[in-house]
Protein backbone atom coordinates (compact mmCIF):
# COMPACT_ATOMS: atom_id res chain seq x y z
CA UNK A 1 0.00 0.00 0.00
CA UNK A 2 1.29 3.46 -0.90
CA UNK A 3 1.86 6.19 1.66
CA UNK A 4 1.80 9.87 0.76
CA UNK A 5 3.41 12.97 2.20
CA UNK A 6 2.36 16.21 0.55
CA UNK A 7 4.03 19.35 1.95
CA UNK A 8 3.52 22.86 0.63
CA UNK A 9 5.19 23.49 -2.73
CA UNK A 10 8.23 25.60 -1.81
CA UNK A 11 11.06 26.86 -3.99
CA UNK A 12 14.09 24.92 -2.72
CA UNK A 13 16.46 27.88 -3.14
CA UNK A 14 14.63 31.06 -2.26
CA UNK A 15 11.76 29.78 -0.13
CA UNK A 16 9.16 31.32 -2.45
CA UNK A 17 6.04 29.64 -3.78
CA UNK A 18 7.08 28.10 -7.09
CA UNK A 19 5.58 29.55 -10.26
CA UNK A 20 5.58 28.30 -13.82
CA UNK A 21 3.48 26.42 -16.38
CA UNK A 22 1.01 23.80 -15.29
CA UNK A 23 3.64 21.08 -15.32
CA UNK A 24 3.93 18.12 -12.97
CA UNK A 25 7.12 16.08 -12.63
CA UNK A 26 7.37 12.38 -11.77
CA UNK A 27 10.62 10.91 -10.38
CA UNK A 28 11.16 7.30 -9.25
CA UNK A 29 13.73 6.69 -6.51
CA UNK A 30 15.48 3.99 -4.53
CA UNK A 31 18.47 5.19 -2.48
CA UNK A 32 19.18 8.22 -4.67
CA UNK A 33 20.69 10.65 -2.16
CA UNK A 34 23.72 11.30 -4.40
CA UNK A 35 21.68 12.19 -7.49
CA UNK A 36 18.38 13.57 -6.24
CA UNK A 37 19.29 17.11 -5.06
CA UNK A 38 20.42 18.23 -8.52
CA UNK A 39 17.41 16.58 -10.16
CA UNK A 40 14.86 18.27 -7.90
CA UNK A 41 16.61 21.64 -7.99
CA UNK A 42 16.42 21.63 -11.80
CA UNK A 43 12.59 21.48 -11.74
CA UNK A 44 11.85 23.53 -8.61
CA UNK A 45 9.84 25.91 -10.81
CA UNK A 46 7.28 23.25 -11.76
CA UNK A 47 3.69 23.26 -10.54
CA UNK A 48 4.15 19.91 -8.81
CA UNK A 49 6.97 17.43 -8.16
CA UNK A 50 6.06 13.89 -7.11
CA UNK A 51 8.73 11.41 -6.00
CA UNK A 52 7.59 7.77 -5.88
CA UNK A 53 10.08 6.06 -3.61
CA UNK A 54 10.60 2.31 -3.23
CA UNK A 55 11.38 2.47 0.51
CA UNK A 56 14.86 3.98 0.37
CA UNK A 57 17.16 3.37 3.31
CA UNK A 58 19.37 6.41 2.77
CA UNK A 59 18.53 10.15 3.02
CA UNK A 60 16.30 10.18 -0.07
CA UNK A 61 13.01 10.82 1.84
CA UNK A 62 14.58 13.69 3.80
CA UNK A 63 15.88 15.26 0.59
CA UNK A 64 12.44 15.04 -1.01
CA UNK A 65 10.90 16.89 1.94
CA UNK A 66 13.70 19.46 1.98
CA UNK A 67 13.00 20.33 -1.65
CA UNK A 68 9.26 20.73 -1.04
CA UNK A 69 8.24 17.80 -3.23
CA UNK A 70 5.52 15.23 -2.61
CA UNK A 71 6.75 11.89 -1.31
CA UNK A 72 4.87 8.70 -2.14
CA UNK A 73 6.12 5.29 -1.04
CA UNK A 74 5.13 2.32 -3.18
CA UNK A 75 6.62 -1.19 -3.63
CA UNK A 76 8.67 -1.52 -6.80
CA UNK A 77 7.74 -4.10 -9.45
CA UNK A 78 9.25 -2.62 -12.62
CA UNK A 79 9.86 0.85 -14.01
CA UNK A 80 6.89 0.58 -16.35
CA UNK A 81 4.47 -0.68 -13.70
CA UNK A 82 5.69 1.84 -11.14
CA UNK A 83 5.18 4.74 -13.52
CA UNK A 84 1.83 3.45 -14.79
CA UNK A 85 0.63 3.08 -11.21
CA UNK A 86 1.69 6.64 -10.42
CA UNK A 87 0.09 8.08 -13.55
CA UNK A 88 -3.21 6.34 -12.82
CA UNK A 89 -3.43 6.45 -9.01
CA UNK A 90 -2.05 9.84 -8.00
CA UNK A 91 -3.63 13.29 -8.19
CA UNK A 92 -1.82 15.37 -10.79
CA UNK A 93 -2.24 19.14 -10.68
CA UNK A 94 -0.47 19.87 -13.94
CA UNK A 95 -1.98 19.53 -17.39
CA UNK A 96 1.38 18.15 -18.55
CA UNK A 97 3.66 15.55 -16.96
CA UNK A 98 7.43 15.32 -17.29
CA UNK A 99 9.15 12.01 -16.52
CA UNK A 100 12.61 12.33 -14.97
CA UNK A 101 15.11 9.80 -13.68
CA UNK A 102 16.76 10.69 -10.39
CA UNK A 103 20.14 10.99 -12.14
CA UNK A 104 18.82 13.48 -14.70
CA UNK A 105 18.49 17.26 -14.63
CA UNK A 106 16.60 19.76 -16.78
CA UNK A 107 18.88 22.33 -18.42
CA UNK A 108 17.89 26.05 -18.36
CA UNK A 109 17.34 25.97 -22.13
CA UNK A 110 14.93 23.05 -21.82
CA UNK A 111 13.06 24.79 -19.00
CA UNK A 112 12.60 27.94 -21.07
CA UNK A 113 11.48 25.95 -24.10
CA UNK A 114 8.96 23.90 -22.12
CA UNK A 115 7.53 27.00 -20.47
CA UNK A 116 7.12 28.70 -23.84
CA UNK A 117 5.63 25.68 -25.62
CA UNK A 118 3.20 24.77 -22.86
CA UNK A 119 2.06 28.37 -22.46
CA UNK A 120 0.88 28.28 -26.10
CA UNK A 121 -1.32 25.20 -25.48
CA UNK A 122 0.27 23.15 -28.28
CA UNK A 123 -1.65 20.72 -30.46
CA UNK A 124 0.83 17.95 -29.68
CA UNK A 125 0.11 15.32 -27.02
CA UNK A 126 3.77 14.61 -26.28
CA UNK A 127 7.34 15.74 -26.83
CA UNK A 128 10.62 13.93 -27.30
CA UNK A 129 13.53 15.28 -25.27
CA UNK A 130 17.20 14.75 -26.11
CA UNK A 131 19.63 13.60 -23.40
CA UNK A 132 23.33 14.29 -22.89
CA UNK A 133 24.73 11.12 -21.29
CA UNK A 134 27.84 11.44 -19.12
CA UNK A 135 30.20 8.60 -18.23
CA UNK A 136 33.12 9.03 -15.81
CA UNK A 137 32.45 12.75 -15.90
CA UNK A 138 32.67 13.06 -19.70
CA UNK A 139 29.85 13.78 -22.13
CA UNK A 140 29.48 10.83 -24.53
CA UNK A 141 28.94 12.73 -27.78
CA UNK A 142 29.30 9.71 -30.06
CA UNK A 143 29.14 5.88 -29.58
CA UNK A 144 25.53 5.99 -30.84
CA UNK A 145 24.45 7.72 -27.64
CA UNK A 146 23.93 11.24 -28.98
CA UNK A 147 21.40 12.33 -29.94
CA UNK A 148 19.50 10.23 -27.40
CA UNK A 149 15.79 10.90 -27.85
CA UNK A 150 13.28 9.89 -25.20
CA UNK A 151 9.55 10.59 -25.02
CA UNK A 152 9.28 12.29 -21.62
CA UNK A 153 6.75 15.15 -21.75
CA UNK A 154 3.06 14.47 -22.39
CA UNK A 155 -0.46 15.64 -21.67
CA UNK A 156 -2.00 14.19 -18.53
CA UNK A 157 -4.10 11.12 -19.28
CA UNK A 158 -2.69 10.62 -22.79
CA UNK A 159 0.24 8.26 -22.18
CA UNK A 160 0.91 4.75 -20.91
CA UNK A 161 4.00 2.53 -20.65
CA UNK A 162 4.12 -0.92 -22.21
CA UNK A 163 4.59 -3.72 -19.69
CA UNK A 164 8.25 -4.47 -20.40
CA UNK A 165 10.56 -5.12 -17.41
CA UNK A 166 13.36 -2.89 -18.77
CA UNK A 167 13.81 -0.36 -21.60
CA UNK A 168 10.08 0.22 -21.53
CA UNK A 169 8.33 2.26 -24.25
CA UNK A 170 5.95 5.15 -23.64
CA UNK A 171 2.93 5.23 -25.96
CA UNK A 172 1.22 8.62 -26.39
CA UNK A 173 -2.26 9.11 -27.81
CA UNK A 174 -1.91 11.93 -30.31
CA UNK A 175 0.77 13.76 -32.32
CA UNK A 176 4.27 14.21 -30.91
CA UNK A 177 7.08 16.68 -31.62
CA UNK A 178 10.69 17.32 -30.61
CA UNK A 179 12.17 19.86 -28.22
CA UNK A 180 15.58 21.45 -28.76
CA UNK A 181 16.49 21.75 -25.08
CA UNK A 182 18.19 18.81 -23.39
CA UNK A 183 18.30 16.73 -20.25
CA UNK A 184 21.61 15.94 -18.59
CA UNK A 185 22.02 12.30 -17.55
CA UNK A 186 24.90 11.97 -15.08
CA UNK A 187 24.77 9.23 -12.46
CA UNK A 188 26.92 10.22 -9.49
CA UNK A 189 26.81 6.90 -7.65
CA UNK A 190 30.09 5.72 -9.17
CA UNK A 191 31.29 2.88 -11.36
CA UNK A 192 30.34 0.07 -8.96
CA UNK A 193 26.71 1.20 -8.99
CA UNK A 194 26.88 1.51 -12.80
CA UNK A 195 28.05 -2.10 -13.16
CA UNK A 196 25.52 -3.42 -10.66
CA UNK A 197 22.68 -1.63 -12.44
CA UNK A 198 23.67 -2.98 -15.84
CA UNK A 199 23.97 -6.49 -14.44
CA UNK A 200 20.35 -6.20 -13.23
CA UNK A 201 19.34 -4.77 -16.59
CA UNK A 202 21.04 -7.68 -18.38
CA UNK A 203 18.99 -10.20 -16.38
CA UNK A 204 15.77 -8.34 -17.16
CA UNK A 205 16.64 -7.84 -20.82
CA UNK A 206 17.55 -11.51 -21.29
CA UNK A 207 14.22 -12.64 -19.85
CA UNK A 208 12.33 -10.07 -21.93
CA UNK A 209 13.99 -11.09 -25.20
CA UNK A 210 13.17 -14.74 -24.60
CA UNK A 211 9.59 -13.97 -23.63
CA UNK A 212 8.74 -11.88 -26.68
CA UNK A 213 8.87 -12.53 -30.39
CA UNK A 214 7.82 -9.23 -31.87
CA UNK A 215 9.62 -9.24 -35.22
CA UNK A 216 7.31 -7.83 -37.89
CA UNK A 217 9.68 -7.71 -40.86
CA UNK A 218 11.60 -4.74 -42.23
CA UNK A 219 8.89 -3.75 -44.72
CA UNK A 220 6.23 -3.47 -42.02
CA UNK A 221 8.75 -1.67 -39.79
CA UNK A 222 9.65 1.05 -42.30
CA UNK A 223 7.65 3.78 -40.50
CA UNK A 224 9.55 3.06 -37.27
CA UNK A 225 12.87 3.03 -39.13
CA UNK A 226 12.16 6.54 -40.41
CA UNK A 227 11.73 7.83 -36.85
CA UNK A 228 15.08 8.58 -35.12
CA UNK A 229 13.82 7.72 -31.61
CA UNK A 230 12.38 4.37 -32.75
CA UNK A 231 15.10 3.39 -35.23
CA UNK A 232 17.47 1.81 -32.73
CA UNK A 233 14.72 -0.18 -31.00
CA UNK A 234 13.36 -1.37 -34.36
CA UNK A 235 16.75 -2.46 -35.68
CA UNK A 236 17.44 -4.34 -32.48
CA UNK A 237 14.11 -6.12 -32.74
CA UNK A 238 14.27 -6.96 -36.44
CA UNK A 239 17.97 -7.54 -37.17
CA UNK A 240 19.89 -8.09 -33.94
CA UNK A 241 18.76 -11.72 -33.42
CA UNK A 242 20.45 -12.63 -36.73
CA UNK A 243 23.74 -10.80 -36.10
CA UNK A 244 26.61 -13.13 -35.08
CA UNK A 245 29.06 -12.32 -32.28
CA UNK A 246 26.90 -9.71 -30.60
CA UNK A 247 29.61 -8.21 -28.34
CA UNK A 248 32.07 -7.75 -31.22
CA UNK A 249 29.34 -6.44 -33.53
CA UNK A 250 28.20 -3.96 -30.91
CA UNK A 251 31.74 -2.73 -30.33
CA UNK A 252 32.36 -2.21 -34.06
CA UNK A 253 29.04 -0.42 -34.39
CA UNK A 254 29.52 1.92 -31.42
CA UNK A 255 33.29 2.52 -31.56
CA UNK A 256 33.84 2.54 -35.34
CA UNK A 257 30.59 3.24 -37.20
CA UNK A 258 29.28 5.63 -34.54
CA UNK A 259 32.77 7.14 -34.07
CA UNK A 260 33.12 6.36 -30.40
CA UNK A 261 36.87 6.86 -30.85
CA UNK A 262 36.19 10.60 -31.03
CA UNK A 263 35.27 10.49 -27.33
CA UNK A 264 38.84 9.54 -26.52
CA UNK A 265 39.84 7.02 -23.82
CA UNK A 266 36.47 7.44 -22.11
CA UNK A 267 34.70 6.53 -25.34
CA UNK A 268 36.78 3.37 -25.64
CA UNK A 269 35.98 2.35 -22.06
CA UNK A 270 32.30 3.10 -22.56
CA UNK A 271 32.08 1.06 -25.76
CA UNK A 272 33.93 -1.85 -24.15
CA UNK A 273 31.57 -1.84 -21.17
CA UNK A 274 28.47 -1.67 -23.37
CA UNK A 275 29.84 -4.54 -25.48
CA UNK A 276 30.40 -6.54 -22.31
CA UNK A 277 26.78 -5.75 -21.41
CA UNK A 278 25.67 -7.41 -24.65
CA UNK A 279 27.82 -10.45 -23.80
CA UNK A 280 26.21 -10.57 -20.37
CA UNK A 281 22.74 -10.56 -21.94
CA UNK A 282 23.70 -13.37 -24.34
CA UNK A 283 25.09 -15.52 -21.54
CA UNK A 284 22.02 -15.00 -19.37
CA UNK A 285 19.77 -15.90 -22.32
CA UNK A 286 21.76 -19.12 -22.82
CA UNK A 287 21.43 -19.93 -19.14
CA UNK A 288 17.66 -19.36 -19.26
CA UNK A 289 17.31 -21.56 -22.36
CA UNK A 290 19.27 -24.35 -20.69
CA UNK A 291 17.11 -24.13 -17.59
CA UNK A 292 13.96 -24.20 -19.72
CA UNK A 293 15.19 -27.24 -21.67
CA UNK A 294 16.06 -29.11 -18.47
CA UNK A 295 12.63 -28.36 -17.06
CA UNK A 296 10.98 -29.65 -20.24
CA UNK A 297 12.99 -32.89 -20.04
CA UNK A 298 12.09 -33.28 -16.37
CA UNK A 299 8.38 -32.92 -17.17
CA UNK A 300 8.60 -35.46 -19.99
CA UNK A 301 10.26 -38.01 -17.72
CA UNK A 302 7.70 -37.39 -15.01
CA UNK A 303 4.78 -37.85 -17.43
> What domains sit in the chain, N to C, each tagged with a CATH number?
3-185 (3.90.550.10), 191-302 (no CATH)
Give CA–CA dist 97/23, Å, rounded.
6
Q: What is the pLDDT of residue 115?
A: 95
Burial tier of 120 (Cβ tally within 10 Å: 0-12, 13-18, 19+): exposed
24 and 93 Cβ atoms separated by less than 8 Å: yes
Contact indicator for 77, 58 with CB cutoff of 8 Å: no
Q: Are 197 and 145 in contact (CB under 8 A)?
A: no
pLDDT at 231: 66
Q: Residue 108 burial by CB count (10 A; 0-12/13-18/19+): exposed, middle or buried?
A: exposed
pLDDT for position 211: 82
Q: Show pLDDT as tens, one digit a residue, over the chain (303 residues).
A: 555 554 433 333 333 344 545 999 999 999 999 999 999 999 999 999 999 999 999 999 999 999 999 999 999 999 999 999 999 999 999 999 999 999 999 999 999 999 999 999 999 999 999 999 999 999 999 999 999 999 999 999 999 999 988 889 999 999 999 999 999 999 999 999 999 999 999 999 999 888 875 555 555 556 665 666 666 666 776 777 788 899 999 999 999 999 999 999 999 999 999 999 999 999 999 999 999 999 888 888 887
Gap between the Cα atoms of 218 and 224, Å rounded: 9
For residue 29, which of 98, 103, 107 has the smallest C-alpha distance? 103
pLDDT of residue 20: 46
Look at residue 244 in the predicted model and tell me its pLDDT. Answer: 87
Tell me which DSSP letter residue 17 carries: B
pTM of the model: 0.86
Amino acid sequence: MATLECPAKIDCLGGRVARGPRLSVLVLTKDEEKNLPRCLASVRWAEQIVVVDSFSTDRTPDLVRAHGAELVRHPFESYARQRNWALEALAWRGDWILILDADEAVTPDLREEMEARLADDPAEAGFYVNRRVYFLGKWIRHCGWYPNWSLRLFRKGRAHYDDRPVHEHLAVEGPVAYLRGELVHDNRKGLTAFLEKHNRYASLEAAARLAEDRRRGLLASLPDLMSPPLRRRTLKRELWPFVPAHPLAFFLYSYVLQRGFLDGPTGLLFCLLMSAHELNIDLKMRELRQAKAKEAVRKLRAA
